[in-house]
Structures are given as C-alpha cells and as structure tokens.
Structure 1
Amino acid sequence: MNNVPKLPIGDWVESVEDWLTDHLGPLFDFIRAVIGGMVDGIEVALTAAPSLVLIVLIAALAYWIGKWKLAAFAVIGLLLIDNLGLWEPSMQSLALVLTASILSIVFGVPIGIACARSNAVRNTVTPILDFMQTMPAFVYLLPAVSFFSLGVVPGVIASIIFAIPPTIRLTNLGIRQVPGELTEAADAFGSSPAQKLFKLQLPIAMPTMMAGINQTIMLALSMVVISSMIGAQGVGAYVYRAVTQAKTGVGFEAGIAIVIMAILLDRLTQSAFKKK
C-alpha cells in the first residue's frame, strides 16, 4: 500500500471551498445577515426585560404547559443562573440555540416529508445524514469560518448541520408509520395530497416528529461550547476560557448554567408536546 499514491481528498475539498468563496460570496453575506439578524433579535427579546420578569414569564409558561414542579424548577434554576452572574451570557447562548433549532425545523421538516414521499429522496438523503451525524462537530467549524468569518453565525451554521438530522429522520419515520388503511381511506374519499398530508399524516406522525425536534434542540444546545471556539459569545465562552486557563470553579458554574437550560428546554418541549 505504500506504493499507492495518496488520494488528494483534502486538496479537492479546499478547491471546492475556494470556488464557493469566490463565486458565492454575496449569498454567504446574505445568509450571514439573515442569521445574524435572527440571533440579535432573539437576544434583544430575551434581554429587553429585567431577568426577574423573564423568570416569572418562563415559570408561568412552565406551569401552563407542564406542572408546578416544572415551574418551581424553572424559578430555582433561572434564579441560580442569575445569581452566578451568567444571565446575559446564558441568554446569548439561548438565542443561538433557538435560532439553530428554528432553522433546523424549518428546513428539516420539509426534507423529512420529501423523504417519506419518495424512496429515491430518502435513499439520497440518508447517506448525507449519516455523514453529518458521524463527522466530528469540530470539522464543521472550518468551512463555516471560511464562508461566514468568526462570530455567532458560523456557530449557528455548524449547530444546524449537527442538529438537523433527527428532525429529518423522525419526520420521515413518523409519516411512514401512518397506517396504510388510513391513507387508502383518505384516497377513497378524494383527499388531495395536501389534505392527506396536513389533515391525516402530520397529525398522526406528530409525536414521532416532536421527539426528533426535541433531539434537535438538545443537540443544538450541545454545540454551545464548541461554537465559542470560533467567537460565539455566551456561557460556552466561559467554559472554553475555563478550560484554557484551568479554572475549574468557573467552568463548573458555567456548566451548571448549561445543564439548567438543557433540562428546562427538554422538559418544556416534552410537556408542550404532551399537552397537544
């Protein structure tokens, strides 16, 4: 094997990257502006009111869609984040997570529907999803920085690539698990493809789809620390600085904030889906 020349895969990838940078620069600028505007808008909405006001609102939402135990956890957990002085960084991270999750859902659900409707689309998309889920997340940061520079936008892009597969896979799975007798009955009654999709398949597939969306949100949150390596602000930056400076206490405090947000988002989404 030593006599077999090495395939220049790295050179090919860099050539494609250079071509995209040279020819699609305006498109990347537009994407950067849109995503940056979304993150900034969500961050402004989260930080416009005092922290106690937002805590009360989140607790009320938790009580409405869940139980008093969830509301109590929201109050205690968010007050702890505020007490640790990590409220603003946590809201910056939450803005990144929500932006990545929203965009993953917006693009992932239609792709999942297309996979459910066509075996050819599914067979084409599945290997891409396998690649996206198994490739180390750090690798996504390299082209993201090349196309979108440093900051929160490449962090969102990397989070979308890493987090979108569960939404696509479970949307496809949920629709394919709809009993054939029901779809045949819908066809017999003259339902159009759109009516069959929105009135039959999506409602039945919703629990499975929501499980995928929940996983997407959790995966997006897991990218918070990694995104801080390329300039994304938030509580992940505290963890990254703590690691580089060997400050265990600071890292542990930031880790607690991430854990609280993860548990709260997970329980809120699960309770919302059950309520539906």
Structure 2
Amino acid sequence: MTKTVGVIGLGNMGRGIARNIAKAGHELMVWDVSEAARNAFAETARIATPEEMGAEADIVIFVVPGSKEIDTILDGILENARPELILWDFTTSDPVYTKRLAARAAKVGIPYMDAGMTGGGAKGADEGTMTLMIGGEPDVLERSRPVLESCAGTLIHLGPSGAGHTMKVVHNLITHTNFLACSEAGRLAEAAGIDLADMIKVFNAGNARSFISERRFPDHILSETWDGRSRIFNLRKDVGMAVALSKELGSPMRIGHQTLAWLQAAVDAGMEEEDFTRLYPMLDKLAEK
C-alpha cells in the first residue's frame, strides 16, 4: 500500500532511509536544516517543511540527532496534523525524553513510536537492511509496516513507548564498549609485535569475533579509510545516556564508566567531530589524559 511519507533529517542515516522509501514507490517528502541536503532530493522528492508534512503525510520519520531537535518542531507538526498521521522517532535518545514527546503527541490523538536503529550503520541504512528496535502500540506498527519494511530488514517490537530507545541505549553500550575493547587489544597485540590484521583474523576464527572484528576493523581501520560514518560525539552521547540510565534504575555499571572515560578523553582532546574509527590510532595519546 502506497503511503505519503515525510523524512526529517537527511544525514548519514536519513539519506539512505529516504531513498529506500522512495524506491519502494511511496510518495516522499523531505526536510533538513541544510539546504544542500534538501537540494540533493530535489528530483526525487518534494521538499516540505515539518508543518506541511504534519498536514499531508501518513507517516513522518525523524532521523535527526536527538530529542531536542524534535522538540523544537513537534508543536508545529501537531498543530497541523491530519488525524491519520503517525510519527516515528528513529533517533538515539533518552527514553524518558521520548516518553514526554509521545505524551504530547497523544494529547492530540497522534501516535508517536520510537525505533532505535542497528545493523551496519549508514551502510545498513543505504542498503535497507537495518534492524529497528520498536516501542509503542503494536497496531500502529502494523499500520506502518509497509513503509518500515521498505527501509529496514528486521522489525522487533519490544514493548510500550520508550522500549525501543531503551534497547538502543543498551545496544550501543555494548557496541561502543566492544569497539574500544578491540582497540585496546589491538594496541596490545601490536606492542607485542603481532600484526593487527593477524589479530583480527584470529578473532574472526574464534570466540572473540563480533561485528566490530568482522566489519569495522577490516572495512575502516585495516583499510585506513577511517570512514565508519559516525562522529565520536555520537558515541559519547550514547554511552553517557547508558551510564545515566544505570544510575536512574540502580543497575550496576563499571565497564560502561570506563568506556565513557575513553570517549570523554577524545572529546576533551577536540576529537568530537572526528569519525569514531580514528579513536584507534589515537588510543595511546588518549590513555595519557
């Protein structure tokens, strides 16, 4: 079933999501604060403001940095919202903030669903193979399924509002900690005279294998392309949310605090806008901070 879909945010993830939605035959509306990002879709989509999307779209998907960016435009969307509108929040955000935004939308009868993304990062978004971790009403998920399946390979419903973003915080805690653990191991192996590529080969043939060893190191570090397509700022934000959530829930955490310390050291060194894969060659210097 063809839908009219608005995508707000055309960065590393949003671009691929929007293209796949259009490729599936849905009518696409797009918006980004960057004029260049908007103009890249001039021939394949209608450039529309968030308020226009609220009035005309069946589904609006937020692929912006986080809840604060949504907060600034949400009232304008809701004031103009058609009754059938469904909002989907694909950000990595504090689930408490997500629930507040969902409650605001619910006051005017508009469902607000949260969907954390995983599965290959921007490459997964480009290829339409990513996994969505979903919180919200199951019936709204079913109504949205034709659009979601055009830009994601796997949909996993986890519970009520906020559950998807909670799972994303937990997921990213593991992902970023694993990246830094592999990086520490790599620096140790190299210090001992073992080639990094050989270490990764052993990891991938044994129990230490993971997405980090199978894809991140070969594709972005061993290749020396340093193009993981996510900023260190994002990793710091994600792990910071996980640490804050652990305190709020009284759940024990030590390893997460050390991951946060590594990332904070990188931010303090002025690296927050760098691709996160560049943490690896800088690890020795960051350890001194």
Q: Which has the higher contact order (CA 8 A, sep 6+)?
A: 1
Structure 2-normalised TM-score? 0.23
Q: Which protein has the larger Cα radius of gyration, Structure 1 or Structure 2? A: 1
Q: Which has the higher strand share?
A: 2
Structure 1-normalised TM-score? 0.24
